[in-house]
Amino acid sequence: MASRVRLTVRFLLTTTLVLGLSLAAVAAVLERAYSASLMASAEEQLQLLLFSLLGAADDSGAELRFPDELPEPRLTQPESGLYALVLDEDGAVIWRSASHQLTALPAGLGLNAPPQRPGRFEFHERNGHYEMSYGAIWAEEQHERTYVFRVLVDKTPYQARLSTFRRHMTLGALSVIALLALVQYLAMLWGMRPIHAMAGRVRALERGERARMGSDHPRELLGLARSIDRFLDHEQQTRERYRRAMGDLAHSLKTPLAVLTNELQQPARADQALIAAQLDRMQNAISYQLSRPLAAPRLLPGEAVPVAPLITRLSEALSKAWHDKDMVLTLDLDPSVVVRADERDLMEILGNLLDNAYKYGRAQVRVTLQPGNGQGMNLLIEDDGLGIPEAQRGLVLERGARADSAQVGQGIGLAVVVDLLSSYGGSLSIEAAELGGAGIRVDLP
**Sheet order of strands, 364-371 included:** 328-333, 364-371, 377-383, 438-444, 427-432
The mean pLDDT of the chain is 78
Q: How confident is the model at residue 398 (pLDDT cuts 50, 70, 90)?
A: low
Query: What is the mean pLDDT of the segment spanning 296-300?
Result: 53
pLDDT in tens, 223-256: 888 888 888 777 777 777 777 667 666 656 666 6
What's the pLDDT at 322?
Answer: 77
Query: What is the mean pLDDT of the segment spanning 408-427?
Result: 69
Query: What is the mean pLDDT of the segment spanning 12-18?
Result: 85
Q: How confident is the model at residue 33 (pLDDT cuts 50, 70, 90)?
A: very high
Q: Who wins on pLDDT, 107 or 42?
A: 42
What's the pLDDT at 18?
Answer: 87
Q: Who wins on pLDDT, 39 or 298?
A: 39
Quote the percentage of the chain above a pLDDT of 70.
Answer: 77
Query: What is the mean pLDDT of the segment spanning 316-336?
Result: 82
CA distance 409 to 12: 66
What's the pLDDT at 3?
Answer: 52
Which positions ≥6 away from 403 have C-beta within 8 Å?
A: 248, 249, 252, 284, 285, 288, 289, 412
Q: What's the chain's length in residues? A: 445
pLDDT in tens, 140-178: 666 677 888 888 888 888 889 999 999 998 898 889 888
Which domains does the chain possess? 9-161 (3.30.450), 219-293 (no CATH), 301-444 (3.30.565.10)
Contact 237, 297 (CB under 8 A): yes
Contact 348, 412 (CB under 8 A): no
Enter the pTM of the model: 0.47
Q: How confident is the model at residue 1 (pLDDT cuts 50, 70, 90)?
A: very low
State whether the Cα torsion 416-419-421-426 is positive or negative: positive
pLDDT in tens, 39-57: 898 889 888 988 888 888 8
Tell whether the model's pLDDT for residue 402 goes beyond 50: no
CA distance 341 to 354: 19
Tell whether the model's pLDDT for residue 356 goes beyond 60: yes
Tell whether the model's pLDDT for residue 200 goes beyond 50: yes
What's the pLDDT at 433?
Answer: 86
Of 115, 133, 116, whose CA–CA distance to 124 is shortest?
133
Query: What is the mean pLDDT of the segment spanning 82-108?
Result: 82
